[in-house]
Amino acid sequence: MTPSRRALLAAMAGGVLAGCAGPQSTIDRSATVTGSPSTSAAITTSTSSPGRSPAATAPTATASSASHAVTRADIIARYGHAVPRTWGFDAPTVVHALPTARRVIALTFDACGGPGGSGYDRALIDFLRRREIPATLFINSRWIDANPAIFRRLAAEPLFEIANHGTRHRPLSVTGRSAYGIPGTRSAAEVYDEISGNQSKLTRLLGTPPRFFRSGTAYCDDVAARIVTALGERFVSFSVNGDGGATFTPEQVRTTVAAAPGGSIVICHMNHPRGGTARGITAAVPQLLATGHSFTRLSDALH
């Protein structure tokens, strides 16, 4: 990996971290990052035309069965001695973009939970409702616990789909690697716990298992990414860092998101109402619509 490549990934990770560290983060707010974090990421889905079906695509029988059949003991036996070869955003099987060249964009919003991360950006969600903009919401277990009534309403709205943002919001590692001061999971067993704890909660609350997973900071190693797959979910990263972890000004959010090319997966945050995300998205979305772009939930684009 070249020094410039490392610098790019570091800037992107810093923004993701800030969304859970609070708006007072010292991360450089000028680090507007656009473009795929992986030039070699494997997109294993078939090309399709993302739609805006009001009903979420049901998890496949294979994914649902896998998540229920694989136990913690299975994961330890299968991956307990595996040695990771990658760390960052570039693990095989991680999805960074939509498999289409059309002007379709997936807006994704993280709700990280925990100290400094359990707020609710009502203005952002209300804007998406008014303009009927579909989105995928990656929600952490702690955020659900802090906002049960809001979660129930979001989960009941066909405009949105709920995805798994982990149980304790940890970078996903089998060796204890950390990302920007946030300790990572330390073993295959802890990776299982991070994924399955919130997976079980979401399955109970939604009636079906979540299809997609994103770790805290979006960092993972290749062994941990394979565990996500074994548990019936797909690890989804991003290609456009839309709000720098809720540290960008409204204008920075607007310019970054409005410049997103077709096929982008945009990451922003819905847990920092005092940040610039809502105003930036409110300005960027009409610009994108005016240039012929449309928006999709991940489940309508990834099959």
pLDDT digits (tens, 9 = 90+) for 65-98: 444 589 999 999 999 999 999 999 889 999 999 9
| Predicted TM-score of the model (pTM) | 0.82
49 vs 152: CA distance, rounded Å = 29
* Average confidence (pLDDT) over 25-36: 34
Q: In the chain, where does DSSP find H-type helix?
A: 3-21, 61-69, 72-79, 122-131, 141-146, 148-156, 188-206, 222-230, 250-258, 277-290, 298-301
Mean pLDDT of the chain: 84
Contact between residue 225 and residue 172 where contact means Cβ atoms under 8 Å apart: yes
* Average confidence (pLDDT) over 209-236: 98
CB atoms within 10 A of CB 33: 19
pLDDT at 115: 87
